[in-house]
Structure 1
Amino acid sequence: MDRSLEVDQHKLVSAWQERLPALMDDGDSFSVLADNGDPNSLLIHFNAAGHQGYSLDFRCKYVDSREVAVDLLDVEQSGLHIDERSDAVQQLAQQYSRQIHECAQALQNLTNP
């Protein structure tokens, strides 16, 4: 059975924008954009509250209608690119990656009807 994603990308972005805030920590903010280069991917930008101005960019690619692959694309601190290998950044990246996976699961009624 083919489990390819058959959801309009803009509809998916809207669903993510509605669902993701419920999974996030207070004060954190985010944006979700369609990846114009890949109709099965979303670009998600997080601004971490109180973590020295960290922001992290992820690509969330739907491998199929039930599974996503999450890649950390970029980390900035106060607008400057930084090394993502520090403990603080790794903890944030793991937290946000988990939230992305939770959001994808919560939206399975849309992506895997």
Structure 2
Amino acid sequence: MDQQLQLDQQQLVSAWQERLPSFMDDGDSFSVQADEADRKSMLIHFNAAGRQSYSLDFRCTYVDSREVAVDLVDVERAGLHTDERTDAVQQMAQRYTRQIHECAQALKDVTNP
């Protein structure tokens, strides 16, 4: 039986901003912000390195102290909404999803004190 998850959303956002770069590829950039609609969620925006100018937005929601649900919310290319079903986008989405999960595991000391 899992305890009710008690998270300080701002503390969590700060921890993610600090730890996530260590899981990312060189040249990629990101931002993390609290999801105002859900205190267990954060919005993570990735800017992919390279000339393609892709950006991907994810919602990361804590299911419990160790596990997150990751949803791809939006994909843009050069500032315009683009099809998220292309192979290139799917590969990037899988890579970023894996990085989010790895970061969540690394932060379990914050979420499960």
Q: TM-score under structure 1 normalisation? A: 0.97
Count of equivalent residues: 113
- Which structure 2 residues correspond to residues 40-59 of structure 1 after superposition, within 5 A? 40-50=40-50, 52-59=52-59
Partner residue in 2 for 1:9: 9
TM-aligned CA deviation for residue 54 of structure 1: 0.2
TM-aligned CA deviation for residue 6 of structure 1: 1.1
Partner residue in 1 for 2:109: 109
User: 1:23 and 2:8 equivalent?
Assistant: no
Mapped partners of 2:83, 2:43: distance in 1 = 20
Mapped partners of 1:33, 1:47: distance in 2 = 15
Unaligned runs of 5+ in 1: none
Partner residue in 1 for 2:64: 64
Counterpart secondary structure, 2:61: strand
User: How many percent of aligned residue pairs carry the same amino acid?
Assistant: 75
Task: Tell me the C-alpha RMSD between the 2 structures.
Answer: 0.9
Counterpart secondary structure, 1:76: strand
